Chain A
Amino acid sequence: MEVAVKLARAFLAAGAALALLAGCGGSDDGSGDGPTEVVFSYLWAGAEAQALEQVIADFNASQTKIRVKGVSNPDFQKQLAAMSSGKGSFDISDHFGNGVGAWASKGILAPLDEYIAKDGFDTADFVPSALEQMKYEGKTYSMPIALHTQMLLYNKKLLSEAGIAAPPQTTEEWAQAIAKLTKRDGDKLTQLGYANAEIGTSLTTLGYAFGGEWFDGSGKATPNNPGTVAAAKFYVDNVPGKYGVGAVRTFTSGFGEYASPQNPFYVGKVATVIDGEWQAAFIKKNAPQLEWGVAPIPYPASRPDLEDTTQVTTSTLFIPANAQHKAEAWEFMKYLLGKEAMVKFSHALANLPARTSLLGDPAYADLPQFDAWLQALKSPNAKALASTPWAAQYSTDLNSAFDDIAQMRKTPEQALAAVAEKTGSYE
């Protein structure tokens, strides 16, 4: 009997402790008097989160009706789980532009058009291609807070050593430059004229640069067209095709960490690379002695209309459909999208602002060469991947194809045709 009692007591004590715990957690918003609490759950962490928290603090200090609480949730499984429940545990969050379609089509994003209309919020200042990505079936489901473009970075010293006076403007010049900039020591490569910073982004950008399209006007996937094939061919012909897949792989496998002083571009292992605007801050921090330049991505000589092509990607803000304080969340979103907050935040992250009026803002002056990326946003050839419901699937299949192409397991035509076949079953 005594044992049963002891066991029962143990369980009861544990139960009591747990009951206490239940009270410990789960902060409900006390509605009534006092400011409405809005929960901002964001994917950013570390230094970026700190920059965001500063903006949040500024907002909270600027008015008394709404109090925003920022929570760093670095894994998006948390976002998805929270958005699937009946009562949302957060009111506003961030995501990437080409994921809008997928989430909007499933009804988990709150459309923002009503709020925009009611407040007369002026969307004309926003970069058009970015704004397009925010829409699904004509409705706006997100707003862009930070943008990214891709440019050609080049190592000035290596170029001058190779006798190249100016960065290449056409793809033909670029091909010649790559040849001059690739050095070998016996079988082993010691320097590559070009390497992909991140193959998915680089090859999709190149696809645009060669006049290809990844989507057609009606939002269908079109991976296999002359432009995209030409882009893939350009890479293969000038790098692995010429120097050997094995040699290239041996060389690239020794590359240092991307966000470190050992980044292959910083240490002169790679002479040209296609990369995003955050490099301005990264290089300043990790490789301040590097002599580098930024140039528009080259275009085929026969297609001068493709000059200044770039790919635009976006970081977006959204309000989940199950949010409990949508109106207040919108107030906060307006603040974040306002010029002051946007400059502060994008500058801290070394990302581009989403407003065209900010593209010349002096606040970015301390980021070396940032202006090049800023101006790229104005280009008529600034393209963005469409945000369709199956964008993630398309992206996965494309990356697989790019891997096959770069490792020369398939020719560009074969690989991209294979993706085209798969797109038939996207839904």
Chain B
Amino acid sequence: MALDTATMLRRAEEARAAVPRARRRRGNPLRYAALLAICAAFLLPFVVMLTTSFKDPADVFRFPPRLLPDRWSLDNFGAAMDAMPFWRYLGNTVLVSGLAVTGTLLSCPLVGYALAKLRWRGRGTVLVLALGTMMLPPQVTLVPLYLMWDKVGLTGTYLPLVVPSFFGTPFFIFLMRQFLVNMPDDLLEAARLDGASELRIYWRIVLPLARPALATIAVFQFVWAWTDFLNPLIYLDDDSEYTLSIGLYNFFSEHGVEWGPLMAASVLFTLPALVIFLIGQRHFVEGIATKGLK
């Protein structure tokens, strides 16, 4: 008898809710103080970046440096958006990052599940192999990889940047595996006994329960793809296809840096990724379903 998937899911949710979460202690002044100190430390460079982006050129190099601008000006933002085709680059970056996230979400949980929950010979070897590929410094595979793409004539396109993520990235595979290892086996066994196919179990039970993990790798992959500089530079030939991180180099010249516009461009660069993070993190930290990383 095929198990009603709604029932399966409901049972999973009940199991999840039944385990009491660790009580989060109420805030006390000491904790707030610690939080504020931590935030200040992490924020300082970003605050410098932010305030510099509003400064006039002379103000940027005022000595001794002052944190806040003399006069708040939007000139740098204008310069930043003029120096490169900002919206085009933004669109390109969104495209590449979006596709990379899609590929990762499609492939990494699949492989992670195989390494965590399925029993088959070679499982350990594949895990070690995947880990091993992370241990070779990228500089020595950069050119052979490029030549490989060149041979099939795909350099100059977005494909080398995006296609590999559809086949899985070891870091995320390993992370998914750690998340999934602690998923309760009884749920899965019950479904198997009821005749559900492995794929169905994966799609209907495992993925929903792993939502926080999925959100985690989605956000991480997005940020990686968003900030990647070298790969887009190496594989793209047409500067109309460039991404934002390459655009940042417009503010570096032979002997110096155009600080004001660079900081403005960096703020513009960071904001969308930050927004994605804020949206995504709601999924992966609040209301975690699985027993997470144990």
Contacts and interface: CB of A to CB of B under 8 A. Distances in A.
The answer on direct contact between A and B (beta carbons under 8 Å) is: yes
Contacts of B200: 2-3
A94 to B, nearest CB: 11
Given A3-B199, A7-B199, A25-B238, A84 B146 contact: yes
B143 A84 contact: yes
Interface string A58-99: 000000000000011111011011101111011000000000
Contacts of A25: 156-159, 236-238, 241
B203 interface: yes
18 contacts: A3-B197, A21-B99, A21-B162, A25-B156, A26-B156, A26-B237, A39-B237, A45-B250, A45-B252, A71-B237, A72-B250, A78-B234, A81-B234, A82-B237, A85-B147, A259-B257, A260-B259, A278-B255
Given A261-B63, A278-B254, 7 more contacts: A7-B199, A21-B95, A25-B158, A25-B236, A46-B258, A72-B239, A74-B252
A26 B230 contact: no
A90 B257 CA distance: 27
A119 B258 CA distance: 42
Contacts of A71: 237-239
A48 B256 CA distance: 12
B206 to A, nearest CB: 11
Q: Size class of B's contact patch?
A: 35 or more
Given A3-B200, A21-B158, A89-B155, A260 B143 contact: no
A48 B146 contact: no
A49 to B, nearest CB: 7
A45 B84 CA distance: 11
Interface in B7-60: 58, 60
Contacts of B230: 75, 77
A4 B239 contact: no
A261 B55 CA distance: 15
A46 B253 contact: yes
Contact of A46 (B63, B142, B159, B251): B251
Contact of A27 (B106, B143, B156, B253): B156
B236 A258 contact: no
B159 A22 contact: yes
B2 to A, nearest CB: 11
A44 B254 CA distance: 7
Interface string B94-110: 01000100110010000
Interface of B: 58, 60-61, 63, 83, 95, 99, 102-103, 106, 142-143, 146-147, 150-151, 153-159, 162-163, 166, 197, 199-200, 202-204, 229-230, 233-234, 236-239, 241, 246, 249-259
Nearest to B107: A11
Contacts of A256: 61, 63
Nearest to A50: B83
Contact of A78 (B151, B199, B233): B233
Contacts of A21: 95, 99, 157-159, 162
A26 B102 CA distance: 23
Contacts of B156: 25-27, 89
B154 A22 contact: yes
Contact of B142 (A14, A81, A258): A81
B143 A11 contact: no
B159 A258 contact: no
B147 A84 contact: yes
